[in-house]
Amino acid sequence: MENNIISTQIYKKIVKGIERKGEVKKLNLYMKKFIDRSSDVLFTPYPVERLIFSDKDRNTVYEAADITDKEIKLAIKNIKFINSSWKALNNPFNFLMLSLIKYFTMKKDEENTELCIMYISLQFYTMHHIRYLRYVQKETMVYTITNLSNKHDIKQYGTIFKALNKKAMVNHVTYLKNIKSNDDKKLIDYIVNLNNRIKQWIIGIMEEYRKNKDSGKFFNSTKDDFSDENFRETTNSSMEVQKLTDRVTNYVIKNHVNFKLSEMSAKMVHVNKASLFRTLKEVRDNVDNEEIHKFIGNILEINIIDGKNDADTISSRNFINHMLKLYNRSNTSDEKLIEVKETLDKWLNEHSVSYLKTNRVATKISWRKSVFIYYSFLIQYYYNN
């Protein structure tokens, strides 16, 4: 009995399709954009909002690989040990992504391997989130995640994306021989185990959530709300931003990198403490003062003017979380936010060896965020002192 249907009838065709000129780059950019526009849902520790994985998000991959779901379905029917009732194993998109993961793994293309692994993982996450966490109450979920022990990945890594990335990449390393194999059973074991890891993770969160919901426990966020009376007119806000920008920039220029704040920033997003400190020192010593001034001004403008917050909220214990929420939003039309992210990418490409060495999407995101957090901490530190 033939046991290499995936390799001979699906993988070979997909290889021809993806190797057409420009298709890899097109797919790479689309998957990155998907993650970026989903940042509000993914870069938070609270699995409350639903991640939208649309037909367009699947069809774009089919088009890049030059194959149809019907072609894959026909091939799947030839794999005799697959039961027709097994939904995960009869979904042609899973076999498409499995083949792409295999292709980029064999090519030793780490960036696109990880992107494809995360892309299918996000579809699995969407599927299980709808089934197990569709109607959760936000306050109870916030309480649940906040009170989890550090043995839970979501607590340890801080965001849904990073926890999911950790699980997916551990699965990839564990079943690396499977993905390199041409045997149907071994290849299917790879994707089944990835799906099961994500499913069990979601179920674990759901069980903790139910315990808290049944006992009436929830997080009261009223004290963190900002009322309308704290808002300022745009003209006054602009003056406040200018004054603060001047003073904070002056502090940055005249002082060494704040080791404690650097360490706190690294810890929040799990990057190497020493590497971040060196990077921040390189930025401080080599970046033009006007560029630093503009960067700090953009951060303050995002918070005070775009976020419509009084400057006094900078001293709030919720300031850093609020800044991260603004940073993570998928509003790509916000010019100041786009400029902040572009500046972070530029600085890290020029002054961070660790950033240049890695091709991992999640790691690069963490590095950019760590520098953003450090400057947010600096703004708060200066304001409070």
Which of the residue ranges 60-64, 210-214, 215-219, 311-315 has the most confident prediction, judged by mean pLDDT?
60-64
85 has a pLDDT exceeding 50 = no
Which pLDDT value is given to residue 61? 97
Q: What mean pLDDT is predicted for residues 164-169?
A: 95
| Cβ–Cβ under 8 Å, residues 98 and 119 | no
User: How distant is the alpha carbon of residue 53 from its chain centre?
Assistant: 15
How far apart (Å, rounded) are the C-alpha atoms in residues 26 and 32? 10
Can you give the pLDDT at residue 288? 85
Q: What value does the mean pLDDT take over residues 289-306? A: 84
Contact of 27 with 61, CB cutoff 8 Å: yes
For 94-115, what is the mean pLDDT? Answer: 96
Type of residue numbered 2: E
For residue 233, is pLDDT > 60? no
Quote the longest CA-to-CA distance of the chain: 77
More confident residue, 239 or 233: 239
Average pLDDT over residues 303-327: 78
Q: How many Å apart are CA 192 and CA 186, to the nearest integer? A: 10
Domain range summary for the chain, segments of one domain joined by + = 5-214, 223-384
Rounded to the nearest 10 degrees, what angle do helices 259-269 and 361-384 cross at? 140
Mean pLDDT of 101-117: 96
Q: Which two tokens stand for residue 92?
A: 């042609």
> What confidence tens digit (pLDDT) does each residue in 247-278 have?
888 888 888 899 999 999 999 989 999 999 99
HSE, CB side, 13 Å, CA atoms: give it for residue 101.
Answer: 32
* Over residues 177-203, mean pLDDT: 94
Q: Mean pLDDT throughout 45-69?
A: 92
pLDDT in the model for residue 234: 39
pLDDT higher than 80, residue 377:
yes
Band (130; pLDDT cuts 50, 70, 90)? confident
Q: Is the pLDDT of residue 381 over 50?
A: yes
Q: What is the SS3 assignment for 122? A: helix
Residue 236 reports pLDDT greater than 80 = no
Higher-pLDDT residue of 136, 308 = 136
Percent of the chain whose pLDDT exceeds 90? 48
Between CA 1 and CA 97 the distance in angstroms is 25
Q: Of 98, 155, 151, nearest to 124 (Cα)?
A: 98
Using an 8 Å Cβ cutoff, are 145 and 46 in contact? yes
**Per-residue confidence band for 360, with pLDDT thresholds at 50, 70 and 90:** confident
Sign of CA dihedral 330, 335, 340, 343: positive
Q: If phi over 0 gives left and psi between -120 and 50 gives alpha, with beta otherwise, what is residue 92?
A: alpha
**Res. 221: pLDDT tops 50:** no
Q: Write down the pLDDT at residue 327.
A: 83
Q: For the chain, report the end-to-end CA distance as a whole number of angstroms.
A: 75
Token duo for residue 186: 């071994």
Q: Which pLDDT score, from 0 to 100, does residue 22 have? A: 94
Tokens linked to 219: 């997080």
| pLDDT at residue 367, as a whole number | 93
* Mean pLDDT rounded to a whole number for the chain: 85
Q: How confident is the model at residue 316 (pLDDT cuts 50, 70, 90)?
A: confident
DSSP structural state of residue 303 = I
Can you tell me the mean pLDDT for 196-225?
76
Tell me the pTM: 0.59
Report the pLDDT value the prediction gives residue 201, as an integer from 0 to 100.
95
Confidence of residue 89 (pLDDT cuts 50, 70, 90): low
Q: Is the pLDDT at 309 greater than 80, yes or no? A: no
Reported as a pLDDT band with limits 50, 70 and 90, residue 107 is very high
**Hunting for tokens 């560029």 — which residue is that?**
291
* pLDDT of 185 above 50: yes
Amino acid 47: pLDDT: 93
Helix (H, G, I), strand (E, B) or coil at 108: coil
What pLDDT sits at residue 43? 87
178: pLDDT confidence band, cut at 50, 70 and 90? very high
What's the pLDDT score for residue 244? 83
Res 345 pLDDT > 80: yes
Where residue 310 falls (left for φ over 0; alpha for ψ -120 to 50; beta otherwise) is: beta
Would the pLDDT of 140 be above 70? yes
d(CA 184, CA 2): 9
* Span 157-171, average pLDDT: 93
